[in-house]
Amino acid sequence: MKGLEFQAVAVLGATASAVPLVREITPAAVDRPPHETGLLRERCPLFVACTRAREALAVS
């Protein structure tokens, strides 16, 4: 097993305007590669949080 798992996980505040956090990402018009990297960097913690749930996941 890699990483921690929990019976239930709740991810709060995962809205379209919060994930990814736009102000943390280089605009695509400025520089495309850093933009793509920024999107991945912002989405990764959400993915990790969601994959820690064994039985129940709540996202709001």
In the chain, where the domains are located: 6-59
Q: What is the pLDDT of residue 57?
A: 97
Tell me the whole-structure pTM to 2 decimals. Answer: 0.70
Q: What is residue 13's three-state secondary structure?
A: coil
pLDDT at 2: 67
Q: What is the pLDDT of residue 1?
A: 54
> For the chain, how far is it from start to end, CA to CA, in angstroms?
27
Distance separating alpha carbons of residues 57 and 24, to the nearest angstrom: 26
Q: Which of 3, 32, 30, 35 is nearest to 20 (CA)?
A: 35
Which residues of the chain are under the pLDDT cut of 70? 1-2
